Amino acid sequence: MVRVEFLGPIQKKPLELEIKNLNELAHILQKDKELSEWLQNSAVAVNDTLVNSLDVELKDGDKISLLPPVCGG
């Protein structure tokens, strides 16, 4: 089971999913129309490290975070 968290302005509760990699996550989240814009502009972190590719294997207990566009200061 992995946990998926939606940060900042994405108003969505965390998900617990049985998935093996980020490709599976992409397929699941792309079915949610409310997320479509966020998927286009959000960065992805696995266990608080940003990743640049879907080619990431996941293991039980991993945490995935979606980070929409930022503006500190």
Shortest distance (Å) from residue 60 CB to other proteins: 20
Angle 60-63-68 from CA coordinates, rounded to 5°: 150
Query: Binders of other proteins among 5-64, rule CB under 8 A?
Result: 7-9, 22-23, 25-27, 29-30, 36, 39-45, 48-54
Kindly state the smallest distance separating residue 65's Cβ from other proteins, in Å.
Answer: 7
- Alpha carbon dihedral 46, 54, 16, 13, in 10-degree steps, equals 80
Residue 61: other Cβ atoms inside 10 A: 9
Binding site for other proteins (CB under 8 A): 7-9, 22-23, 25-27, 29-30, 36, 39-45, 48-54, 65-73
